[in-house]
Structure 1
Amino acid sequence: MGENIKSQYIRSIELKSEEISSFNKYPFSIPVIKNIGNLEFHPEVTFIIGENGSGKSTILEAIAIAYGFNAEGGTKNFNFASKTTHSDLHQYIRIIKGVNIAKSGFFFRAESFYNVATNIEELDLESLGNRIIDSYGGVSLHEQSHGESFLSLISNRFTESGIYILDEPEASLSPFKQINIIKKINELAKNGCQFIIATHSPIIMAYTNSIIYEINGEKIKKVDYENTQHYKVMSSFFKNKDKILNIILNN
C-alpha cells in the first residue's frame, strides 16, 4: 500500500470485544462477529464476501453507521428512518481513520435504496431552493429501473475524494453493466476515493487493486480472487455446465 495509506479515510476497524457482555445474542451471535478483531482496509477498494447470512452486510452496515452514515443509506445528511432494522454492532466498532477527510460519501444499500429515492423526492417537495435530485442526474430515481438509478447515482453523485460503502451494488445490474461499474470504480479510486463493498459478484470483485476478505463460518480472512468460493463456483459451473446440471436436475 505504501504511501497511499495516508489517503485512506478508513484505515481499519476494531471490534470492542471488551464491551460485549455476551456473544449469545444478535448480532454478536453471528459466528464471524467475535473474530473480526482488527480489519485493515485497502486505500482504494476492500471487498467483503461470503454466503447469505454470513454477516457481511451486518458488518458493512456497522462500519457505515459508525462512520456517520444513515442506517438505511444515503449521504451523512440523510437522517430518515422508514423502519428500524439495523443492529447495534456499530456501537462496538472502533473506526481508525486516515489523515485526510473525505469530501463526499455515500452508503448504498440495494435493499433500501428505494427509501433513499423516496426521501429525496420528499425533501425536494419541501425545498424552495436547489433540488437534491439535480445532483443525482436530474431524473427521479423512481422513474428509472433499479439498475439505472444506481448507475445515475455512481455517475452523478459519486465524486472525487470520497468514501463509498456499497452493499450488493450488483443488484439488478446486467453482467455488462457490472463491468462498467469496475471502470467507474477505477476512475474514482484514481481520484482519491475509497470503496468498501459487500458483494456476491465475481465480476465486480475482480477489480485488481483491492483486498478481498472472505467470510467462511467463524473465520474472516484475506483471499486471492481465484481462491474465493464465488470464483471457484462460477468457474466450475461454466467449465462443467452440462455435468453439473445433469447431477442437480436428476437427483
Structure 2
Amino acid sequence: MQARPYLKAISLKEDMITDWDKYPFNIPAIRNINTLQFHSGVTFFVGENGAGKSTLIESIALAMGFSSEGGTRNFNLATADTISTLHRYLKTIRSFATPKDYYFLRAESFYNVATYMDQVGGITSGYGDKLLHERSHGEAFMAALTLKLRGKGLYIFDEPEAALSPTRQMAAISAIHQLVKKESQFIIATHSPILLSYPDAKILHLDEHGISEISYEETEHFSITRSFLNNYKKLLPTLLED
C-alpha cells in the first residue's frame, strides 16, 4: 500500500455553506471544487490573477495545520488578518501514512518567516550556516528548499518563483525532484512556465468555468511565453504603442 499522496483529496463541506454568493464561494473555481484529487508527487495550480489559486493554496495549508504566513507546522505567526474562511469548509482526505516533514512556503510572507527564524533560531533553525536575512531573497528561498526540507514531507508552495531567477527556477526543479524521490508530495500554485515543466505533474487550471486538468503544453504559461520569445520583435511595437 502506497503512503503517498499524504493529502489525497479535498472537498467542500457544502452543507455548511449558507451563502454561495459571498467570498470566497463567489469565485467560480472555489464554488466548483467538488472533490479535488492530488498527485502523489507534484500538483500545480495555474490560472489568471484572481482565479483563486492563492486563496485555495492558503486554505489547504490552513486545513493541514499550517500558519497563514508559512513555515513549518510548529511555526505560528500572523502579522495581518487577511485570510479567507475557506479552510473551515474544506474536508481533507488523507493517507493512512503521516508525513515526517511539513513546510508551507508563501512568497508574499516569507520575509516575515525569515525575520522570525533569524531572531528565534539563528543558524540553528535548519536553513544552513548563514542567517536568512544575510542572503538574497532568492538565496533564502533556495535555502528553505534545499536545506530545510528533509523528505517524506508534505510541502505546499505559493508562487515560489517570485524571488527566483530562471536559472534558480531550474535548480528548484532539481531540488523538488530529489525530494519527490524521497517520498515527498508537493502542491504548488505558480505562474512559472519553467516550474510547470516538471514531468508527470498534475496541472489543475482554475478559471471562470471551475477547475480542470490540463497538460503542460495547454497552459497559457507555455504557449504565451513560447509565442513571445519566438516573436518578440514583432510583438513589442504593438505592446508599446501610445
The TM-score, its normalising length taken from structure 1, stands at 0.92
> Aligned partners of 1:196 and 1:94: how far apart in 2?
16
State the Cα deviation string for residues 149-172 of structure 1 (Å, max 9, x = none): 011111111111001000001012
CA contact (8 A) 2:118 2:133 kept: no
Amino acid aligned to 1:60: I
Matched, 1:22 2:19: yes
Structure 1 pair 63–132 and aligned structure 2 pair: CA distance change class (3 A): farther
Provide the C-alpha distance between the structure 2 equivalents of 1:154 and 1:64, rounded to a whole number of angstroms.
Answer: 17
3-state DSSP of counterpart to 1:32: helix
In the TM superposition, residue 31 of structure 1 has moved relative to its aligned partner by 2.3
Quote how far apart the aligned CAs of 1:28 are.
1.6
Match for residue 100 of structure 1? 97
- 1:74 and 2:65 aligned: no
Report whether the alignment pairs 1:185 with 2:176. Answer: yes
Q: How does 1:167-246 map to 2 (within 5 A)?
A: 167-246=158-237
What RMSD in Å do the two structures reach over aligned CA positions? 1.4
1:163 counterpart residue number: 154
Give distance in 1, aligned partners of 2:177 and 2:238: 40
Structure 2 counterpart of 1:219, which letter? Answer: G
Q: Could you report, residue by residue, the CA deviation over 1:64-99 in whole angstroms, capped at 9, with x for unpaired residues?
A: 000111111011101121111111100001110012
Q: Is the 8 A contact 1:47 1:196 kept in 2?
A: yes
Selected match of 1:114 from 107, 111, 116: 111
Q: How big is each residue's C-alpha offset from its partner over 1:7-38, in whole Å with a ceiling of 9 and x where there is no partner?
A: 21101111112211112222222222110111
Q: Given that residues 50 and 215 in structure 1 are in contact (C-alpha distance below 8 angstroms), is that contact kept between their aligned partners in structure 2?
A: yes
Aligned sequence identity (%): 45
SS at match of 2:105: strand
Deviation of the 1:224 alpha carbon: 0.4
Provide the residue aligned with 1:249 in structure 2.
Answer: 240
Q: Match of 1:89?
A: 86
- Code of the aligned partner of 1:108: L
Task: Confirm or deny: 8 A CA contact 1:7 1:43 kept in the other structure.
Answer: yes
Matched AA of 2:226: S
Gaps of 5+ in 2: none
Residue identity opposite 1:51 in structure 2: E
- 3-state SS, counterpart of residue 142 of structure 1: helix
- For these two proteins, the number of residue pairs brought into alignment is 242
Name stretches of at least 5 consecutive residues in structure 1 with no aligned partner: 125-130
CA contact (8 A) 1:14 1:39 kept: yes
Show the counterpart of 1:49: 46
Does the 8 Å CA contact 1:133/1:140 hold for their aligned counterparts? no
SS of match in other structure, 1:36: coil
TM-score by length of 2: 0.96
